[in-house]
Copies of this chain bind each other. A is one copy, B any other.
């Protein structure tokens, strides 16, 4: 059963208790998302009293929502293994379960990332042919947007993991972003063939040989992510997480410098006021809420993680990301691609005779 085959309306399972300002941002975010996509319906998992009070003020949202009371919550500092064992009745777990049972087409949570990944993997399982799920997101670039994965689900990856990430990234570009021949870059510390560790070099050689839904550009470096050199940037979760947070940190640093620059003189302040309209557009363009919604790719079900510190607008964007994955039949396309291009053996794993000795 694939959740992608569900007819509209799309029912989303929302973990109402995850995130710094939950459940407020979840309810308000759902209301914003519902205005954007009238085909959405919601099941809220969490504290009945709190959610009911918030829904009472929003009759339109209430009419397209269902409420499931859960007493347990996965906290932000809970270890994934602990959450997996002890959080069976948590809002997060029950929201994921709703995807498994087919009640919902996807789950969105702003809670503990590690716990969400552990639970989603345990409950939903990986797609046939995918060994490990990866976390992916869109990053603004000089050419539009770059898809980067993995962002932290897998600290260490072998070459085959990286190849599967490349495949998922390329399929995402084709199905969700509509890019016909996505280019794939493997993140490295130089573009020459001999650079980098074994895994990234073996992954490159596999991707050169295998048919993929797109094409291998080659190695890319950290600056290529925001330059938009390739449509997809593939890396292990350690490097990917560090790259993503370095990018976020630099954006913060420069906006800090900009504020200081504007405040530094009366002329600068006047100039800023004149240019206010343009600066507001810039602010909107680099608004981190716009890029909120990290996708857990490679699972038998759609799961999106919202930033824990986001607001209703950001949470609504994360809902939009989940909706896009479902509406474009992303998971179905992965299954089709794996079946068509590589064939699947009895175990549900893609057959890779030519490189199986490398791992």
Chain A residues packing against B (C-beta within 8 Å): 77, 79, 140-142, 152, 155-156, 187, 189, 192, 194, 196-197, 221-227, 235, 237-239, 241-254, 256-258, 261-262, 264-265, 267-268, 270-279, 281-282, 285-286
Q: How far is the CA of A223 from the CA of B247 in the complex (A)?
A: 7
Q: How far is the CA of A151 from the CA of B225 in the complex (A)?
A: 18
Closest residue of B by beta carbon distance from A228: B253
The verdict on A248 contacting B223 (CB below 8 Å), with A238-B239, A275-B272 known, is: yes
Q: Is the CB of A142 within 8 A of B253?
A: yes
CB distance from A130 to the nearest CB of B (A): 21
Q: Kindly report how many copies of this chain are found in the complex they form together.
A: 2
Q: How far is the CA of A270 from the CA of B271 in the complex (A)?
A: 7
Point out the residues of chain B lying under 8 angstroms from A247, CB to CB: 222, 246-247, 249-250
Q: Is the CB of B226 within 8 A of A253?
A: yes
Q: How far is the CA of A246 from the CA of B261 in the complex (A)?
A: 23
Interface of chain A: mostly helix, strand, loop or mixed: helix
Q: How far is the CA of A187 from the CA of B249 in the complex (A)?
A: 14
CB distance from A258 to the nearest CB of B (A): 7
The verdict on A242 contacting B227 (CB below 8 Å), with A155-B189, A247-B250, A274-B267 known, is: no
Point out the residues of chain B lying under 8 angstroms from A243, CB to CB: 222, 242-243, 246
Q: Is the CB of B271 within 8 A of A249?
A: no
Q: How far is the CA of A275 from the CA of B258 in the complex (A)?
A: 11
The verdict on A222 contacting B244 (CB below 8 Å), with A189-B152, A261-B275 known, is: yes
Closest residue of B by beta carbon distance from A265: B278
Point out the residues of chain B lying under 8 angstroms from A155, CB to CB: 189, 196-197
Q: A223-B252, A268-B275, A271-B275 are in contact. List 9 more A-B contacts (CB 8 A).
A: A141-B253, A155-B196, A197-B238, A221-B242, A221-B245, A222-B242, A223-B245, A257-B282, A271-B274
Q: Is the CB of B278 within 8 A of A264?
A: yes
Q: How far is the CA of A242 from the CA of B79 in the complex (A)?
A: 28
Point out the residues of chain B lying under 8 angstroms from A282, CB to CB: 257-258, 261
